[in-house]
Amino acid sequence: MEQISEVNTIPIQVMGKPYHVPEGLTIMRALEHAGFRLVRGVGCRGGFCGACATVYRVEGDHRLHMALACQDLVVPGMQLTQLPYFPARKATYDLEKIDDPELAALDLYPELASCLGCNSCTKACPQDLKVMDYVAAMLRCELKEAAELSFDCLMCGLCTARCPAEITQYQAAMYARRAYGRFAMVRPKHLDERLSELRAGKWVAEVEGLTGLDAEALKKLYVARDMETPTGGFAKAVG
């Protein structure tokens, strides 16, 4: 009979309680292996929704680390807890009623002016975004730069959790992207044409055909899809 090799386990702590979990697991999988039923702080499970914000320390390291539980792997001596929701102020606004979108950023989020330039927000970002830089861009009324620097923000809130000035960076960045898209971004030339085609039902048959394909056929189509380039042209995707 073939002998099954033992699984190597490592010690971790979850909210102060010790566990042993198999090495090589993500934090999320380790939590579930330890018996936690995750009903909060779980989203896509693949790394791009920001729902599984996690804070941890490692034995022998004084630093506080921030991560997404579905991305980082557990390590021996990890002491962790999740922050599935972090309360933060969110300004309300109507883009159609804003006259000067750049000045409005400071009216909606005056706390931006309290930035200390400590860069704690950038260090906390699991996406390695230049959070302090996009805050500085908003203070300079440069919404385009702020929108571009914050484009990959997951809204996990970890930047705010570490900010000594209690700035809601990720909420302010959402405004920057919305305002830039509404007031400054150049509308793609083919967008109106494609919308007209959709309204006319041109793609109904094709969509219905896709719904009848199995997973393997859909994967092949996805790999072979056309990708729009930054210059507005199209190129084959690299799968």
Judge: domain 95-183, CATH 1.10.1060.10.
yes
> The whole model's pTM is what?
0.72
Long-range CB contact pairs, 132-139, < 8 A, 24+: 134/169, 134/173, 134/176, 135/167, 135/169, 135/172, 137/176, 138/105, 138/106, 138/109, 138/112, 138/172, 138/173, 138/176, 139/106, 139/112, 139/113, 139/115
pLDDT at 2: 46
- Averaged pLDDT in 10-residue chunks for the chain of 239 residues: 66 93 93 86 76 89 89 93 81 94 95 96 93 97 95 91 93 96 84 91 91 91 75 53
* Best CA proximity match to 118, nearest among 106, 135, 102: 135
Identify the pLDDT of residue 4: 45
Q: Which residues of the chain does CATH 3.10.20.740 include?
A: 9-82
SS (H, E, C) 78-116: EEEEECCCCCCCCCCCCHHHCCCHHHHHHHHCHHHHHCC
For domain 9-82, the CATH class is alpha beta
CATH 1.10.1060.10 location in the chain: 95-183
Per-residue pLDDT, 231: 53
**Measured distance CA(137)–CA(110) in Å, rounded:** 14
